[in-house]
């Protein structure tokens, strides 16, 4: 279950290296921006950022550019310190170490106008990873205790529709025995709506502060999200960037289980607990079904979940070892493939050279086929013309001399009609062929 995320942009896009270096030099230390020490816990970082986000959010300071800059600076700092990997990279090498991984957008849709929301929705459809945050207005109302809360009973599901960038709050009462057995809260949407499942902790002033957040994910024909408080370490799985996976599928495969991280809260105490479903669609409302169940009837499922997650952790450590072996073998394979192509080319060149040497052992001049053919063709034409000339001479000699009397038997030849001429010109006849009309052609 991911921690709460806020802000307008997770980072700046890639640009000129010199400009990026200048921007990195102008940024303030994230610890200094949030006012926490370098050994601050995750909860201290969350609390510090929550105070700054509520103070400088654009919803409350629409005409104050200074507040907008402070809000973006706090957002950028929180995105570094709230991510264990980025925090470790920053502590070791500064901003440059995390610059390559800082290209995902993170938006509070409630602070965008219609045009910007349309652009965000378009980019999301095109596969650009855009993370959204819970509206500062919702968080502020919860912190002030001014939200409407509905009672949710264990084992009973509720179907509702929540408007975009708003939230429905629910309270659940559990006993000590139920807390020991474990609790599961699940939300699903058959209309594939986007939503966030939120868990709030009560404050001393009677308000609620955001503690846990789980974004919906598409699983089959529905979108769903869940929080599992089972009394033992349970893990959440954060999906990787699909665009980065398309560019480098090998690296994406080996980093696939890096998003398998432990949840911050594994068990609940007896008393009242607060959940919320936040509508995360760009334009339309989200239809959902929420239910909270006791884990007592699911003893076998609990053990299976513990076993499967232990295997996933073991597989993650195996992947890191396998990656080094794979890279080594892949480099060797690439080298062998290149050598194979070179050897093939060398062999072909040597064989061609050998054939050329063999062909050079002759005293007769080499003649091209086209020249020999062109020489032979005129002779055949001459022979044909000679044959035709001799045939014409024979016909003349056989024909009767001019003025010689024609016999009555032969008689004068009748003139042929045009129809007879046409019939004579036909050199084939198909009348004798019988066609079976019953068989189709």
Strand partners, 130: 105
Nearest to 134 by CA among 201, 209, 58, 196: 196
Please, are residues 237 and 259 in contact by the beta-carbon 8 Å criterion? yes
- Helix ranges (DSSP H) in 126-185: 136-143, 176-181
Q: State the pLDDT at residue 2.
A: 43
What is the b/e burial string over 202-215, where b = at least 16 CB atoms within 10 angstroms of the residue's CB? eeeeebbbbbbbbb
State the average pLDDT for the chain. Answer: 76
pLDDT at residue 239, as a whole number: 64
CA distance 351 to 353: 5
Residues 6+ apart with CB under 8 A from 279: 162, 163, 164, 165, 166, 167, 193, 194, 195, 285, 286
Q: Residue 273 in contact with residue 174, Cβ under 8 Å?
A: yes
- Residues lower than pLDDT 50 in the chain: 1-23, 102-105, 369-376, 380-382, 399-410
Q: For the chain, what is the largest distance between any 2 Cα atoms, rounded to a whole number of angstroms?
A: 145
Q: Are 122 and 239 in contact (CB under 8 A)?
A: no
C-beta of residue 195 within 8 angstroms of C-beta of residue 278: yes
Neighbours of 188 (CB within 10 A): 18
What is the tens place of the pLDDT at every residue in 123-158? 555 555 556 778 888 888 898 889 999 999 999 999
pLDDT confidence of residue 123: 52
What are the start-end ranges of the E strands in 230-285?
A: 235-237, 260-262, 271-279
Q: Identify which of 128, 71, 137, 82 has the alpha carbon closest to the alpha carbon of residue 109.
A: 137
| Number of C-beta neighbours around residue 94 at 10 A | 14
User: What pLDDT, on a 0 to 100 scale, did the predictor assign at position 392?
Assistant: 55
Would you say the pTM of this structure is higher than 0.85?
Answer: no
- With residues binned 3-state (H G I as helix, E B as strand, rest as coil), the percentages for the chain, rounded to 5, are 45, 20, 35
């Amino acid at each position: 279950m991911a921690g709460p995320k806020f802000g307008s942009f997770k980072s700046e896009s890639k640009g000129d290296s010199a400009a990026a270096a200048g921007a990195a030099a102008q940024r303030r230390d994230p610890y200094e921006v949030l006012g926490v020490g370098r050994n601050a816990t995750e909860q201290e970082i969350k609390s510090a950022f929550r105070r700054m986000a509520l103070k400088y959010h654009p919803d409350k300071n629409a005409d104050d550019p200074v507040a907008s800059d402070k809000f973006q600076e706090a957002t950028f700092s929180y995105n570094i310190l709230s991510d264990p990997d980025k925090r470790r990279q920053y502590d070791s090498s500064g901003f440059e170490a995390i610059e390559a991984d800082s290209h995902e957008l993170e938006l509070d849709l409630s602070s965008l106008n219609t045009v910007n929301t349309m652009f965000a929705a378009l980019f999301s459809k095109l596969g650009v990873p855009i993370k959204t945050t819970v509206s500062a207005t919702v968080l502020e109302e919860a912190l002030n205790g001014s939200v409407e809360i509905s009672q949710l009973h264990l084992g009973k599901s509720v179907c509702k529709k929540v408007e975009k960038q708003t939230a429905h709050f629910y309270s659940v009462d559990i006993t000590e025995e139920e807390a020991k057995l474990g609790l599961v809260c699940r939300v699903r949407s058959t209309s594939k709506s986007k939503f966030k499942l939120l868990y709030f902790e009560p404050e001393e002033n009677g308000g609620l502060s955001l503690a846990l957040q789980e974004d919906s994910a598409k699983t089959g024909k529905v979108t769903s999200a869940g929080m599992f408080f089972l009394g033992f370490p349970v893990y959440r799985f954060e999906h990787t960037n699909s665009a980065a996976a398309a560019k480098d599928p090998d690296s994406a495969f080996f980093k696939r289980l890096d998003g398998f991280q432990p949840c911050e809260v594994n068990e609940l105490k007896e008393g009242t607990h607060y959940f919320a479903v936040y509508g995360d669609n760009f334009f339309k409302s989200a239809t959902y079904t929420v239910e909270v169940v006791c884990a007592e009837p699911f003893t076998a499922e609990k053990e299976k979940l513990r076993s499967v997650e232990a295997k996933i952790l073991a597989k993650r450590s195996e992947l890191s070892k396998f990656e080094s072996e794979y890279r080594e073998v892949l480099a060797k394979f690439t080298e062998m493939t290149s050598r194979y192509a070179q050897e093939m080319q060398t062999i072909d060149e040597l064989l061609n050279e050998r054939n050329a040497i063999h062909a050079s052992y002759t005293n007769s001049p080499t003649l091209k086929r086209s020249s020999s053919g062109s020489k032979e063709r005129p002779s055949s034409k001459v022979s044909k013309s000679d044959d035709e000339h001799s045939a014409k001479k024979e016909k003349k000699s056989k024909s009767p001399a001019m003025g010689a009397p024609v016999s009555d038997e032969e008689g004068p030849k009748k003139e042929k009609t045009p129809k007879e001429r046409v019939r004579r010109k036909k050199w084939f006849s198909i009348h004798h062929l019988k066609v079976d009309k019953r068989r189709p052609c």
